Amino acid sequence: YIEYALYKTSDVQIHITNQSGQKLVSHSNLKFQNEPIGKHTHLLPTANLANGIYFCLIDMNGKKSTKKFALCR
């Protein structure tokens, strides 16, 4: 899961990259239009990813945030 908070209504897009910066997950299920103010939680589609270190890039109306996570099954 990925969690983030919005302080104004925003369009949000989420990407998952590897340590080299290659985009691995970026599709329409991770684009949210007019998300309201408040905290949000979304399930990340990681079924096709191997164990390892990844980065979740969150773009909120041009403001970008990066969260590092480890995938271990």
Report the alpha-carbon distance of residue 55 to residue 20 in Å, rounded.
Answer: 10
3-state secondary structure (DSSP) of residue 44: coil
Task: Check pLDDT > 90 for residue 72.
Answer: yes
Average pLDDT (9-22) is: 93
Task: State the pTM of this model.
Answer: 0.81
pLDDT of residue 38: 96
Task: Check pLDDT > 90 for residue 45.
Answer: no
